[in-house]
């Protein structure tokens, strides 16, 4: 790994080849702007920390206690499924595109961006040394006061700047065409919308909710709502949404909150990001209740939906006077916000159900002992059904959250 | 023009060069599948018949009374504006793409398709010798009984096959990305939605409606509806819509009805095609009333909206059992139809106003003498305002058309 050794693994024949810890110093030295993370003569510490299913994630440091760089490499299959579920590597390019767009408009809400290597499908970004995954922090009862508003602000910022509000129509259409992400969208279409409501081998759930799950799967009203939500997800190309904005895609700490994992990004409905995020607040609330967390933490969780929505609205209203197409009037903005709110409640329902019933669960609930796990899952599913069926009549964050509280305290 | 002369005008240096009548025989002989339209030793009859703004259209025959071939060449500017309004030639490729997709799913509802020359931007298609433009036929009081249903059937067929109903999601996204049409969409965004409701140098209208036009332009409710319709047009990528489906884009005769002029095609809201078409039925009704057409013709026009809507619904319901994604349930289809209906009424309003107030008028009204022209325009504008503002409460074709009748008879 010293500088004098010929660079290994960087020929065209290595296109997409898996990064090995032992080659990372040479790799960094070969990439523009990254050599500073591998000073010559110093041993690098390399930790692979990927906990997702789709990627390798290396934290690389030249001094163990000081931030270095993170390298994220896409794998050509879903990791937990082995090589039986192949996945295009184009998602790395999709993530890089989104990283660049998001960094342009909201640099303070992402890790610093160091660029993309299309040959090895490697993204380089800030080592968020002092931050941790928000889901883990919530699971531990940590309070991060500014995080909810940061997420709302980010979604609002992106909803404005990457849509026909902030980008001239022709440029926006080019962005849309360049951001189709068929394979990762298909994962969402299947795993979030379809599978949880049908009999599918991917599905599993806590033992105490089997009856309720069957009820949901047999409810034709829920099916129609999910069909509509899925159709909107597939057809409404409003803005370059994150596409996977749960609390596991947020890092918090030191007063910062940043989003990561943008590989699901594409032109979709803005309400999808908000709704997925809100469902994760419901999980946190259900868990906090079961664990008897103190009032400070529960109050914190109780404010996530309202604070993020308020920040989203404030951001959009603040940017509105700078819109490129002034034909969109102020009353239209209010209508757009109302439609996004209703959409988001529906997408919250879809995320809540799929994380309880479908393929990918979340640690918030799964790490609870029984019967707490089943009872938390039941609360989540009841909230989800109500949100999906009644969302058009829910007129405020307070109205939405009062039902969440009622169900989690049941 | 004999076969022995070296082919002129076909080198790479002639990319996009305007077709001249004198070179058409050689041109046809050089193109795959088109030589049969220029048998050697025979003088060709070549007529340029383009009445649009964007293209040259040649009808080419080797025998004057027998159908030959039509060549349509895109010009790099809007014809009526001279070279001051340049336009991309990519629209020819967009039209060719749409022609191929439409021909695949509804060959009987288009001219026979003979292919595209990307070098000269020339589309080759059937010479519809015995057919005429439907708008002209309606202007003359001709009855073409099957035409309305044919249009509804076409829109339904395309709405199914090019959407997530008929095309597998990944393939559909590739189609969407390949069908962005920024420049022609921009024309619609400006001319159909924005300009008619603001002060714009393009606007002009019959003298008798100045007060009403000012009322419409000052009505904040109408502005918000148009903003929403424009936003949906820009973001709802449902199916490969025609994008310019007025009665001037339909040819009728001999029991046939076919659509032409697909250059505005892109992935947009299906209701746009239906609504634009319906507005043209309103123009025909207003004209027929002013000219005192007989009951047979007026009855024919009165049924256009209902018949096309019924055919659209029948087509979609008929294809529904073959949908590729069976997660979309029957109740969702009914909801989709209802949403498309409401959309279409809004887009009918936009087309009605822009054809009366905006840049591009229609002969239906403009060829009427005053004061008939102004009074027909007033009826159209009143219908449009009502449709735009009340569309969410209009529950059937009968309910919609009864107000049309009331206004045109006023």
For residues B278 and B345, give the distance between their C-alpha atoms in angstroms, rounded to a whole number.
8
Query: Would you say residue B370 has pLDDT above 90?
Result: yes
The string of pLDDT tens digits covering residues B233-270 is 999 999 999 999 999 999 999 999 999 999 999 999 99
Residue where the block lists tokens 């000052």:
B218
Helix (H) or strand (E) holding B281: helix B270-290
Tell me the C-alpha distance between B110 and B53, whole Å.
21
User: With an 8 Å Cβ cutoff, is B110 touching chain A?
Assistant: no
Q: Please indicate whether, in this complex, the C-beta atoms of B176 and A174 are within 8 angstroms of each other.
A: no
How close B173 comes to chain A (CA, Å)? 6
- Number of Cβ atoms within 10 Å of the Cβ of B1: 16
Q: Which residues contact A318 (CB under 8 A, 6 or more apart)?
A: none
Residue B84 DSSP symbol: G
Which chain B residues are within 8 Å of A172, Cβ to Cβ? 234
Cβ burial, residue B263 (10 Å; 0-12/13-18/19+): buried
Rounded Cα distance between B250 and B286, Å, is 19
Chain B residue with CA closest to A182: the answer is B170
Q: Please work out, in degrees rounded to the nearest 5, the angle formed at the alpha carbon of residue B214 by the alpha carbons of B213 and B216.
A: 65
Whether residue A183 lies within 8 A of chain B, CB to CB, comes out as yes
Rounded-to-integer distance, Cα A212 and Cα A217, Å = 9
Q: Residue A135 and residue A284: Cα distance in Å, rounded?
A: 8
Cα-to-chain-centroid distance, residue B350: 14
Q: Across the beta sheet with B250-253, what order do the strands follow?
A: B132-133, B250-253, B256-259
Strand partners, A113: A125
- The SS3 assignment for A366 reads helix
Q: Is B182 in Cβ contact with A332 (below 8 Å)?
A: no
Q: Please tell me if residue A224 touches chain B, with a CB cutoff of 8 Å.
A: yes
Question: What gap in Å lies between CA A17 and CA A8, rounded to an integer?
Answer: 12
Mutate to test the interface with B, among A166, A174, A224, A342 (most CBs of B within 10 A): A224
Nearest CA in chain A to B227: A328
The total number of residues written for chain A in this structure = 410
Per-residue pLDDT, B86 = 65
Give the contacts of A387 (CB within 8 A, at least 6 positions apart). A345, A346, A348, A349, A352, A394, A400
pLDDT in tens, B150-195: 999 999 999 999 999 999 999 999 999 999 999 999 999 999 999 9
CB A333 within 8 A of CB B223: no
**Torsion of the alpha carbons at B128, B131, B135 and B140, rounded to the nearest 10:** 150
Q: Give the tokens for residue B318.
A: 């008929």
Q: In 3-state terms, what secondary structure has residue B272?
A: helix
Kindly tell me the sign of the dihedral angle through the C-alpha atoms of A264, A265, A269, A273.
positive
Helix (H) or strand (E) segment spanning residue B338: helix B330-357
Q: How far apart are the first and last CA of chain B?
A: 59
Which tokens in the block code for residue A375? Answer: 């009872």
Q: Report yes or no: A179 and A268 within 8 Å, Cβ to Cβ.
A: no
Bigger pLDDT: B221 or B41?
B221
pLDDT at B9: 35
Residues of A within 8 A of B164 (CB-CB) are: 231, 234-235
Nearest to B146, CA basis, from B33, B262, B250: B250
Q: State mean pLDDT over B116-122.
A: 93
For residue A133, give the nearest of A366, A363, A377 by alpha carbon: A363
Cα distance between residue B34 and residue B60, in whole Å: 11
Residue B113 is encoded by which pair of tokens? 């398709």
Q: How far apart are CA B342 and CA B397, in angstroms?
A: 11
Angle at B234 between CA B230 and CA B239, to 5 degrees: 115
Contacts of A189 in chain B (CB under 8 A): 169
Query: Given CB atoms, is B331 within the 8 Å cutoff of chain A?
Result: yes
Higher pLDDT, residue A5 or B361: B361
pLDDT of B30 strictly over 80: yes
Which helix (H) or strand (E) segment holds residue B399: the answer is helix B397-409
Tokens read off for A207? 């033992």
Hey, what are B389's tokens?
């503002």
- Which ipTM score applies to this complex? 0.92
Per-residue confidence (pLDDT) for residue A51, from 0 to 100: 65
Q: Do A164 and B193 touch (CB under 8 A)?
A: no
- Give the helix/strand (H/E) hosting A375: helix A372-390
DSSP letter assigned to residue A32? T
Q: What is the pLDDT, as a whole number, of residue A65?
A: 85
Could you tell me the pLDDT band of residue B142, with boundaries at 50, 70 and 90?
A: very high
Q: Do A336 and B231 touch (CB under 8 A)?
A: yes
pLDDT per position in chain A (410 positions), as tens?
A: 333 333 333 334 556 688 999 999 999 999 989 999 999 888 999 999 876 567 899 999 999 888 999 999 987 766 666 566 667 778 899 999 999 999 999 999 999 999 999 999 999 999 998 899 999 999 999 999 999 999 999 999 999 999 999 999 999 999 999 999 999 999 999 999 999 999 999 999 999 999 999 999 999 999 999 999 999 999 999 999 999 999 999 999 999 999 999 999 999 999 999 999 999 999 999 999 999 999 999 999 999 999 999 999 999 999 999 999 999 999 999 999 999 999 999 999 999 999 999 999 999 999 999 999 999 999 999 999 999 999 999 999 999 999 999 999 98
Instruction: Return the DSSP state at A191.
Output: I
Cα–Cα distances in angstroms (integers) from residue A6 to residues A2, A117, A255, A357, B205, in the given order: 9, 20, 43, 51, 76
Q: Which two tokens stand for residue B280?
A: 């043209």
Tell me which DSSP letter residue A63 carries: S
**Which whole-number Å values give the CA distances from B371 to A229, B213, B377, B382, B410, in the listed order?**
50, 16, 10, 17, 14
Residues A269 and A237: their CA atoms lie apart, in Å, by 6
Task: Please state, in angstroms and rounded to a whole number, the distance separating the CA atoms of residues A190 and A203.
Answer: 12
Question: Which pLDDT does position A226 carry in this prediction?
Answer: 98
Distance from CA of A95 to the nearest CA of B (A): 18
* Cβ contact, residue pair A186, B169, below 8 Å: yes
Under a CB-based contact definition with an 8 Å cutoff, are residues B356 and B385 in contact? no
Q: How far apart are CA B319 and CA B357, in angstroms?
A: 39
CA dihedral of B19, B187, B305, B110, whole degrees rounded to 10? 30
**What are B55's strand-pairing partners?**
B74
Question: Using one digit for the tens of pLDDT, what is the confidence trace for B128-141?
Answer: 988 999 999 999 99
Q: What are phi and psi of B241, to 5 degrees?
A: -75, 160
Q: Which helix (H) or strand (E) holds A399?
A: helix A397-409
Alpha-carbon gap, residue B51 to B72, rounded angstroms: 12
Number of cross-chain residue pairs from A and B with Cβ atoms under 8 Å apart = 111
Average pLDDT over chain B reads 93
Q: For B188, which residue in chain A has the nearest alpha carbon?
A: A169
Is omega for the bond preceding B408 within 30 degrees of 0, making it cis? no
Inter-chain touch B164–A234, beta carbons under 8 Å: yes
Closest Cα of chain B to A219: distance in Å?
Answer: 12
Tell whether omega for the bond before B104 is within 30 degrees of 0, i.e. cis: no
């Amino acid at each position: 790994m010293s500088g004098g050794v010929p660079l290994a693994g960087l020929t065209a024949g290595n296109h997409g080849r898996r990064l090995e810890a032992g080659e990372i110093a040479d790799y960094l030295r070969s990439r523009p702007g990254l050599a500073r993370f591998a000073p010559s003569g110093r041993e690098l510490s390399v930790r692979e920390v990927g906990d997702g299913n789709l990627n390798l994630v290396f934290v690389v440091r030249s001094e163990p206690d000081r931030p270095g760089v993170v390298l994220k490499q896409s794998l050509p299959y879903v990791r937990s499924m082995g090589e039986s579920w192949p996945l295009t590597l184009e998602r790395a390019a999709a993530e890089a595109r989104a990283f660049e767009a998001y960094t342009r408009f909201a640099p303070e809400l992402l890790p610093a961006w160091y660029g993309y290597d299309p040959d090895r499908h490697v993204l380089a970004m800030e080592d968020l040394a002092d931050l941790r995954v928000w889901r883990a922090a919530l699971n531990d009862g940590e309070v991060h006061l500014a995080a909810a508003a940061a997420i709302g602000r980010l979604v609002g910022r992106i909803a404005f700047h990457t849509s026909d509000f902030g980008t001239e129509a022709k440029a926006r259409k080019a962005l849309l065409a360049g951001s189709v992400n068929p394979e990762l969208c298909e994962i969402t279409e299947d795993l979030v919308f379809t599978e949880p409501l049908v009999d599918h081998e991917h599905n599993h759930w806590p033992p105490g909710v089997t009856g309720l799950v069957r009820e949901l799967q047999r409810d034709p009203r829920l099916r129609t709502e999910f069909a509509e939500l899925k159709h909107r997800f597939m057809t409404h190309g409003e803005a370059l949404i994150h596409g996977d904005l749960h609390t596991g895609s947020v890092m918090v700490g030191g007063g910062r909150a940043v989003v990561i994992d943008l590989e699901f990004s594409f032109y979709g409905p803005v309400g999808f990001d908000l709704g997925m995020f809100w469902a994760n607040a419901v999980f946190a609330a259900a868990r906090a209740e079961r664990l008897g967390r103190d009032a400070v933490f529960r109050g914190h969780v109780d404010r996530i939906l309202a604070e993020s929505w308020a920040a989203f609205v404030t951001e959009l209203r603040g940017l509105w006077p700078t819109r490129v197409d002034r034909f969109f009037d102020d009353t239209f903005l209010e209508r757009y916000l109302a439609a996004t709110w209703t959409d988001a409640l529906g997408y919250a329902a879809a995320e809540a159900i799929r994380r309880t019933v479908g393929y990918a669960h979340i640690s918030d609930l799964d790490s609870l002992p029984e019967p707490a796990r089943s009872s938390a899952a039941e609360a989540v599913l009841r909230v989800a059904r109500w949100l999906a069926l009644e969302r058009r009549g829910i007129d405020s964050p307070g109205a939405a959250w009062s039902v969440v509280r009622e169900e989690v305290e049941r």
